[in-house]
């Protein structure tokens, strides 16, 4: 019997981590990397009969830091760009990770 626990970034089909992060819109502390996996089967967490998945490229988006769910491109970008989207995409710029660019110090 093999141990089924696998380090996140080494799971089957891992492709890359993209240079932007997924930021939860109602929690400034909740953000995660955006990574891509390739899979022949649909890994999308939102697969259902009403909103079909984009499976043409066989690519699925999720976080390697917290690999719980993955989404097809359609549903991933829907989660990040709909008018009431719970997440948005923040670009990672050089040097920004160590330099706070927008400190929340607005005490009125």
Query: From the CA atom positions of the chain, what is the Rg in Å?
Result: 16
Residue numbers 58-77 binding Zn ion by CB under 5 A = 72, 75
By beta-carbon proximity to Zn ion, the closer residue of 73 and 92 is: 73
From residue 50, alpha-carbon distances to 24, 71, 90, 99 in Å are 25, 15, 29, 43
Residue 79 lies near Zn ion (rule: CB under 5 A): no
Residue numbers 16-55 binding Zn ion by CB under 5 A = 44, 46, 53
CB of 39 to Zn ion, least distance (A): 12
The upper half-sphere exposure of residue 67, i.e. CA atoms within 13 Å in the direction of its Cβ, equals 16
By beta-carbon proximity to Zn ion, the closer residue of 28 and 81 is: 81
Contact 37/59 with Cβ under 8 angstroms? yes
By beta-carbon proximity to Zn ion, the closer residue of 14 and 77 is: 77
Say how many residues touch Zn ion, by CB under 5 A. Answer: 5
């Amino acid at each position: 019997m093999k141990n089924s626990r696998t380090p996140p970034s080494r799971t089957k089909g891992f492709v890359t981590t993209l240079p932007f992060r997924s930021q939860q819109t109602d929690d400034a502390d909740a953000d995660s990397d955006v990574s891509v996996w390739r899979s022949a089967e649909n890994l999308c967490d939102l697969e259902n009969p009403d909103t079909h998945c984009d499976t043409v490229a066989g690519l699925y988006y999720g976080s390697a830091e917290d690999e719980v769910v993955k989404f097809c491109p359609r549903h991933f970008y829907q989660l990040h760009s709909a008018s009431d989207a719970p997440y948005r995409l923040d670009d990672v710029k050089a040097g920004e990770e160590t330099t706070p660019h927008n400190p929340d110090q607005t005490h009125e």
